Amino acid sequence: MCGPVSDEDFLRKEVDAVERQAAKRIDPGTGALTISIAVLAILVSLILPWVGEHSGLQVVLGESELFLPTLFSYLALAVGVAGSGITLAVRRWVLTWVCSLGLFAGSIIGVLSIWTQQTTTSNKTIGPGPGIGLVIAVIAVVVLLVKWVKIAASRPPQL
């Protein structure tokens, strides 16, 4: 037969529950400002040229027939903008790793997008080159990647 629960046992269980809940949350600190500025840079880059005469918004809407810049634009908007916004709002540790992994893929595809704009199969020695908007978006995605990995890796180990 179990006796009544003492105040100490009740308090210990309550403290443990709060500790487990706090371990699932992050505090981005001043990194939240850098993340917000990088998200804004991605959004501003959409009005600048990305591929030839196509702006970033036109690439997102599928007016460009190039696969890598289009895929990069989807990742930059989905993970870079929406994912970062949701993660900052919810502040869950697991979402920081989701953003980190998505931004890692996005940064690789972004760099490949720039590279494909610098190479060509025609007789020209240099391709048309990436637009300034694509370069800004790739830099912003890399900045987001660094910030999210730093925040995700800062979680203390669970005992």
At residue 122's C-alpha, the angle toward residues 117 and 125, to 5°, is: 70
pLDDT in tens, 101-156: 999 999 999 999 999 888 765 555 555 678 999 999 999 999 999 999 999 888 76
152 neighbors 93 (Cβ within 8 angstroms)? yes
pLDDT in tens, 47-96: 999 988 889 999 999 888 888 999 999 999 999 999 999 999 999 888 99
Structural domain includes residue 3: no
Structural domain includes residue 105: yes
Single pTM value for the model? 0.81
Structural domain includes residue 110: yes
Structural domain includes residue 2: no
155 neighbors 124 (Cβ within 8 angstroms)? no
Its domain, for residue 95, covers 28-153
Instruction: Count up the domains in the chain and report the number.
Output: 1
Structural domain includes residue 85: yes
- Mapped onto helix, strand or coil, the DSSP state of residue 55 is strand
Structural domain includes residue 99: yes
- Mapped onto helix, strand or coil, the DSSP state of residue 6 is coil
DSSP 77: I
Structural domain includes residue 48: yes
